[in-house]
C-alpha cells in the first residue's frame, strides 16, 4: 500500500537527524492514514518480526498493533521501574496465572483511537542511541504493507479433554467436600481441550474470526513467532487505571445465552435472582474490595447487571475506586488472579489448583493489555487458546461454590469453550 510506503519514507527522514552517542530513549510519532488505521490486524499479520501483540479494547475505543521488542520484562515490578525512568513509554503483553510476565517495549506501535491512527517508532539504547538508530533503520526494511487475511482452511482431526469429564467431576466433589468443611469457599476448576488440526493454524485468522462474532469482548493476541501464539476474546476487565482512578469488576455467575431474545432475557432474569450465582459474584466483590484495602479509597460497588455474549451470559458488578498511588505492579499484585478465576481463600484455592489440575494454566487466567504512567488497562485472559502449529489448546473454567451441580458446571465450561471452538469445529460436529 502506498500509504504505508509513505510512512516508511517519513520515518527514514526522521532517522537522518543527528542522535546522541550516549544512552537514551526517543520516540518518532506520525499520524496514520485512516485506511491503515482500520487494518491493524491485517498489517500485523503480514509482518515477519516478533514478538507481536494485538489488542482491541472491549468498547472498541482503542485498537493496537505492536511488534519488535527493545526491552522485555518478566515481572511487572521490572516494567514499573522502567516506566518511572521513561514515563512516556508504553509496555504491552501478558501476565501469567503463576505471576510470570512477558511485557515489552515495542519497536513499533500503531494505535487506532476511534478511527484516528498514530504510529510510534521507539528508539532505545543503554549505550548509544545513535547505534540504535542504525538498527531501527535496518529493522524498517523488514516491514511490508497490510494485506487481506485469508479465511481459515483447517479441520479438527482429534479432540482430547484434560481432565475428561469423570475426573473433572471427581475434582468438583473434592472441592464441595472442602467447602463443606470450611477449608475453601470457592475454587475455579479449569479444563484444557487439545485439538489436533489437519494443518497449522494461522493465529491472526482465528483472531479475525473471533473478533467478528464475539462482541462485547477484549480481543488480544501475542504471537511469539510465526507458529506459536496465545490469543483470546475475553469479556472480563481486570482493571483500567486513568491516573489514580481505578475501574475493575466482578464477573462471576453464568447462564447460557439463547438465540431467541425473549428466552435470553428470561435466562438473564433468572441469573439476576439465582442465589447460587449471586453468592458466587458477591464472593468476588468482597475479595476485590478486601484486596484494595490499603491501596485505594472511596471504593464503590455498582448494582448487578447481566452481560450477554454469544454463548453465555454473565453476572457483573462494576467497582470504582481512587488509588493511593498509580502503581500498576501493585494493582496486578492485588487483583490478579481474582476470585473469579482462582477461588477463595486465594492461596488455598491456588494450592488446590496446582495439586489437582493435570496441566499448567500458563497464560490462561492471567491478564493481557498494556501499562503506562498515564493509564493502563488489562483484561483477564479468558476464552483463550494456545496455538502451536497444528496443535491448539483451548481453556475454560467454572467457579465451584456450595450448591454447584456437576452436570451444570460441565455444561458451563462447554459453553465457554464454544466461543472459540465453534470457529474451528462447527457446532453440528462437536
Per the DSSP assignment, residues forming a β-bridge with 384 are: 232
Contacts of 116 (CB under 8 A, 6+ apart): 31, 37
pLDDT tens by residue, 327-383: 999 999 999 998 999 999 999 999 999 999 999 999 999 999 999 999 999 999 999
Per-residue pLDDT, 95: 98
Give domain 156-200+248-429's CATH superfamily: Anthranilate synthase (3.60.120.10)
Is pLDDT above 60 for 1?
no
Q: Which residue is listed with cell 466482578?
A: 250
DSSP run (H or E) holding 180: helix 165-180
Q: Which residue is listed with cell 492514514?
A: 33
Per the DSSP assignment, residues forming a β-bridge with 230 are: 222, 386
- The answer to whether the CB of 131 falls within 8 A of the CB of 45 is no
Separation in Å, CA 38 to CA 51, 58, 91, 111, 409? 21, 16, 22, 10, 39
- DSSP percent split of the chain into helix, strand, coil, nearest 5: 35, 35, 30
Cα 289 off chain centre by: 22
Residue spans per domain, the chain: 2-140, 156-200+248-429
Pick from 400, 337, 423: nearest CA to 95: 337
408 is in an annotated binding site: no
Give the number of C-alpha atoms closer than 13 A to the C-alpha of residue 253, restricted to the C-beta side: 29
Distance CA 334, CA 338 (A): 9
Q: For 4, which DSSP code?
A: H
What residues act catalytically?
186, 236
Q: For 199, which DSSP code?
A: S
Confidence (pTM): 0.96
Confidence band for 428, pLDDT divided at 50, 70 and 90: low
Pairwise pLDDT comparison (162 vs 430), residue with the higher score: 162
Q: What is the largest CA-CA distance in the chain?
A: 70
Task: Give the DSSP per-residue string, 290-349.
Answer: HHHBTTEEEEEEPPPEEEE-SSEEEEEEEEEEEESS--HHHHHHHHSS-TTTSEESHHHH
Distance CA 348, CA 366 (A): 18
- The answer to whether the CB of 36 falls within 8 A of the CB of 1 is yes
pLDDT tens by residue, 185-232: 999 999 999 999 999 999 999 999 999 999 999 999 999 999 999 999
Per-residue pLDDT, 193: 97
118 is in an annotated binding site: no
Amino acid at each position: 500500500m502506498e500509504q504505508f510506503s509513505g510512512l516508511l519514507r517519513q520515518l527514514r527522514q526522521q532517522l537522518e537527524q543527528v542522535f546522541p552517542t550516549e544512552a537514551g530513549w526517543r520516540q518518532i510519532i506520525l499520524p496514520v492514514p485512516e485506511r491503515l488505521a482500520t487494518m491493524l490486524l491485517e498489517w500485523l499479520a503480514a509482518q515477519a518480526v516478533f514478538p507481536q501483540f494485538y489488542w482491541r479494547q472491549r468498547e472498541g475505543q482503542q485498537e493496537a498493533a505492536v511488534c519488535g521488542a527493545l526491552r522485555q520484562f518478566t515481572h511487572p515490578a521490572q516494567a514499573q521501574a522502567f516506566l518511572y525512568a521513561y514515563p512516556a513509554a508504553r509496555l504491552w503483553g501478558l501476565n501469567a496465572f503463576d505471576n510470570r510476565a512477558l511485557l515489552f517495549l515495542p519497536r513499533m506501535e500503531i494505535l487506532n483511537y476511534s478511527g484516528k491512527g498514530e504510529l510510534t517508532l521507539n528508539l532505545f539504547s543503554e549505550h548509544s542511541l545513535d547505534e540504535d538508530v542504525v538498527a531501527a533503520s535496518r529493522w524498517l526494511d523488514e516491514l511490508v504493507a497490510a494485506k487481506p487475511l485469508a479465511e481459515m482452511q483447517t479441520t479438527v482431526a482429534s479432540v482430547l479433554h484434560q481432565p475428561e469429564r469423570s475426573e473433572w467431576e471427581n475434582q468438583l466433589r473434592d472441592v464441595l467436600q472442602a467447602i463443606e468443611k470450611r477449608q475453601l469457599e470457592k475454587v475455579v476448576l479449569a479444563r484444557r481441550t487439545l485439538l489436533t488440526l489437519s494443518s497449522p493454524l494461522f493465529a491472526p485468522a482465528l483472531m479475525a474470526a473471533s473478533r467478528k462474532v464475539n462482541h462485547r469482548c477484549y480481543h488480544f493476541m501475542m504471537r511469539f513467532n510465526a507458529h506459536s501464539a496465545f490469543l483470546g476474546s475475553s469479556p472480563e476487565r481486570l482493571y483500567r487505571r486513568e491516573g489514580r482512578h481505578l475501574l475493575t469488576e466482578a464477573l462471576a455467575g453464568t447462564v447460557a445465552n439463547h438465540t431467541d431474545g425473549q428466552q435470553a432475557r428470561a435466562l438473564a432474569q433468572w441469573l439476576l435472582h439465582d442465589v447460587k450465582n449471586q453468592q458466587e459474584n458477591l464472593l468476588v466483590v468482597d475479595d476485590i474490595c478486601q484486596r484494595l484495602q490499603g491501596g485505594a479509597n472511596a471504593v464503590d460497588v455498582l448494582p448487578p447487571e447481566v452481560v450477554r455474549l454469544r454463548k453465555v451470559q454473565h453476572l457483573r458488578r462494576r467497582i470504582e475506586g481512587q488509588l493511593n498511588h498509580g502503581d500498576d505492579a501493585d494493582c496486578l499484585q492485588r487483583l490478579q488472579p481474582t476470585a473469579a478465576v482462582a477461588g477463595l481463600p486465594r492461596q488455598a484455592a491456588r494450592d488446590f489448583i496446582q495439586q489437582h489440575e493435570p496441566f499448567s494454566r500458563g497464560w490462561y487466567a492471567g491478564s493481557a493489555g498494556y501499562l503506562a504512567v498515564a493509564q493502563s488497562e488489562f483484561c483477564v485472559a479468558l476464552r483463550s487458546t494456545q496455538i502451536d502449529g497444528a496443535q491448539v489448546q483451548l481453556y475454560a473454567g467454572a467457579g465451584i461454590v456450595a450448591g454447584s451441580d456437576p452436570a451444570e458446571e460441565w455444561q458451563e465450561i462447554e459453553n465457554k469453550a464454544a466461543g472459540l471452538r465453534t470457529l474451528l469445529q462447527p457446532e453440528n460436529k462437536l
